[in-house]
Structure 1
């Protein structure tokens, strides 16, 4: 024990105050478990609230307002070019964050969850040392612990000709891009995944000329191509350039410019930008936790190994959220936090990765849940497909958004719903019905026979299911006629 170090004894220590961590703490408190929430940041909410989900959606809403007003001329309404005050936009975004953070503080206080601000490191399998800012450290002894320390942007130091350039203010990651210090005239985005495309959508709407460089042959690698295609069409209009099958060979800061060396077919060898955003993924925050002092095992990527109850190889320690593997999504962490707390309380609870929705909040939005077409092909799984184009949706046309699509994958023998994909406005809201369908083991007829309000975008799920049922009925009739 360190001189000046105090000791606290609790039933449960939750390390990390993001969505998974504070949700786990609240659920544990509900179940009567004496809980302490240890957070390295002064305000709870983690990356999601302060440097991810919430600030990005606030800025994406601003981008949507700009873009929709611009397209209004297609139905006879013209607006003057928007006057964008970046300082006021930033202040509004920060206000949203503060309101939510204060709300979380209130919930934790109401649930009698103690908060301890500082960096935690395991001393053994039963305690963590918390180094506090300007105060004596605290050793927290626990019966159980939940690790929920999240992740951080991946850096690519090998991309830079000069090592010091990696920390240049001209080089952005998702955190600094969301800070919105200014709007560069020319912005390079390295990586065509969801973070890069969302931030590209924001900056393009605010006035940047956005160039995206992606190594793979399509945007959103791994996502269903039927869903990506309408998005790619829109982004080709909104972005300055999109280079696919192209690698960034190097980045160099010259004066106040970023010089990018590129390699790809029909791509300039060098291009000049005002700033560059590196968005090539995230890495788990497991390397400074002192896990070597426990029996917790991590894999080659730094993720903590867990079972379906979120228990690690050290039986009293659990791990949730980004530190426990893919997909690195806040709503996954929230569900895992609830499961871990319930298991610790002695309840029968487990986590299933099959019904986790993914949403890309671009324009249009892309969302999917369950099995994707890409995964089905890779795994050799035979599926039936039911589609409905939004060009036939009354609501989509009245919104002037006809380029969407709803797609259902189902078992051709049982018609059980295996996966759903949606591209179009509010796809992220619509996917909730698909999550429930997959979670409850619904069949195609369940979606086809459920009455959906008309005219709505949710109706496209019903229409896709009806289309699939009709095709199955035709095939059955043809087979009977052939006998």
Structure 2
């Protein structure tokens, strides 16, 4: 039986990064992953295969299509005879996925990570290690990292099908649906709804919560909702789903809104009501691996489970279900196993929604800071006063900085507007080092750039913004 220092179960962002970093640190490492595409193993998990990467490829394609259809003329560019080839668009999306998943396989070979395709399962403890079934063959692992990720949450009594889909199905519609329903106004629902709205679908979004993006800063969520409604997305809040029935080429949804029962028909329905930890086939019950009441694997500050030598990271332990959070956990745990002080600062994890306009934030909202008893000052700067945004013809949104009123330390930064997915990294860097609004305000920003809005918002904390 072959022995490894580290065996990682799961090849998504948490797992493959943990495997690569472990190998870089001199640990003999293997990774087993059960995800397959086109009949063969495909590393990268949900994110690379059916999540983050393909959805961003389609978002980009759909934005370009809408720009040509509706915005090019404002730039003096007249386009006639534009047509949409959905099959080619999907093929481009798949080619992006192939490049990145193939890249992970290359990195495994480069770093001498042994890769297995199949379901990894904890079998029994043996000495100081664990026997893991690796796709039908057993190996001995001195340390096991469980990184099995999460799966889409289904609605009770509703089966996914060709017309009732979760995120992966929504990435592969063969044609643009005339009427698209989306249950869930979270990140996945809004992003995928935006894709097909731009391509021509009429999109209705049904959300159980009473408001939009309630985890975001109130000013950001209000502005984003306004922009999405202007684009034609039809939102309904405080909705209770009463029934979903597939009838031939239609999906009928019955729901209650404001004490009124409504029936709606759609050509396709996306169910995006969150994700649940994926532990099926892991052998948790057989070996005594603890799960909490929601199915997550409880861990301590060092990612240790209740079993000696067994660790868990990523979506399967809960918290923010974000690929970059999972990646950093993979690096931190690998470094800990190698005797180094790896850690993750959960207070500055950035959140991004890749719609148009984009939404990004890190740290505390103004409301949550006040709930903690902190005195705050805020600064806000609109993209309508930013030269680069005007040149791009996209002046939607703003940047908002929340700072401690006593120390000036940045508590949170919140953005809605063009390219803010890239701009949030600057704020996270300053926050990682405990920086102040003054630090951000005194940092020279190139002109003209969108990032000048970050500087101006920091200046506005002290009521001294120059351009607004």
Q: TM-score, normalised by structure 1?
A: 0.90
Matched residues in 1 for 2:388 and 2:109: separation? 44
Q: Residues 298 and 111 from structure 1, CA distance in 2 versus in 1: closer, same or farther, beyond 3 angstroms?
A: same
**For 1:388-427, what aligned pairs fall within 5 Å after superposition?**
388-427=381-420
Match of 1:93 in 2: 93
Alpha-carbon shift at residue 378 of structure 1 (Å)? 4.2
Q: 2:374·2:404 contact (CA, 8 Å) conserved in 1?
A: no
1:26 aligns with 2:52: no
The answer to whether the 8 A contact 1:339-1:350 is kept is yes
Aligned to 1:3: none
1:27-426 pair list within 5 angstroms: 27-41=21-35, 42-69=41-68, 70-80=70-80, 82-125=82-125, 126-130=129-133, 132=135, 137-158=136-157, 160=158, 166-265=159-258, 269-426=262-419
What is the CA deviation profile of residues 380-418 of structure 1, one whole-angstrom value per residue up to 9, with x for unaligned ones? 433221111111111111111112110111111100011
| SS in structure 1 of the partner of residue 106 of structure 2 | helix
- Secondary structure at the residue paired with 2:19? helix
Quick one: structure 1 residues 66 and 234, their matched pair in 2 at CA, closer, same or farther if it must change by over 3 Å? farther
Residues 267, 421 of structure 1: CA spacing in aligned structure 2 closer, same or farther, 3 A cutoff?
farther
CA 1:196–1:273 in 2, change beyond 3 Å: closer, same or farther?
same
Range 256-265 or range 107-116, more displaced: 256-265
CA contact (8 A) 2:124 2:132 kept: no
**Contact 1:246-1:263 at 8 Å conserved across structures:** yes
Q: Deviations over 1:296-343 (max 9, x none)?
A: 322221111122222222231111110111200000011000001000
**Gap runs ≥5 in structure 2:** 36-40
CA shift digits 1:442-462 (9 cap, x unpaired): 011110100001111111111
- Aligned mates of 1:91, 1:289 — CA distance in 2: 33
Offset, 1:153? 0.3
Bigger Cα displacement from structure 2, 381-390 vs 233-242: 233-242
Q: CA deviation at 1:73?
A: 3.5
Aligned length: 456
2:393 partner SS:
coil
**1 CA distance for matches of 2:226 and 2:81?**
23
Cα shift readout 1:349-401 (whole Å, capped 9, x = no counterpart):
22221111000001100000111234224444332211111111111111111
1:440 matches 2:443:
no
Match of 1:12 in 2: 6
Does the 8 A contact of 1:384 with 1:411 survive in 2? Answer: yes
SS of residue matched to 2:212:
coil
Q: Deviations over 1:217-264 (max 9, x none)?
A: 222232112112222122113235211222222111122211111211
Q: Would the aligned equivalents of 2:123 and 2:133 in 1 still touch at CA under 8 Å?
A: no
SS in 1 for 2:333: helix
2:372, 2:407 → 1: CA distance? 19
Contact 1:213 1:246 in 2 (8 A): yes
**Matched position secondary structure for 2:208:** coil
Secondary structure, in 3 states, of the residue corresponding to 1:89? Answer: helix
Show structure 1 runs of 5+ residues with no match.
Answer: 1-6, 161-165, 473-483
CA change 1:266–1:63 in 2 (3 A) is farther
- Find the aligned partners of 1:296 and 1:116 in 2 and give their Cα distance: 23
Q: Is the 8 A contact 1:243 1:267 kept in 2?
A: no
RMSD of aligned Cα (Å): 1.8
- Contact between 2:403 and 2:411, CA under 8 Å: does it hold in 1? yes
| Greater mean deviation of Cα atoms: 113-122 or 215-224 | 215-224
User: Could you say what secondary structure the match of 1:167 adopts?
Assistant: coil
SS of equivalent to 2:462: helix
Q: Secondary structure at the match of 1:29?
A: helix
Q: Does the 8 Å contact 1:311/1:340 carry over to 2?
A: no
Structure 1 distance, partners of 2:48, 2:7, is 21
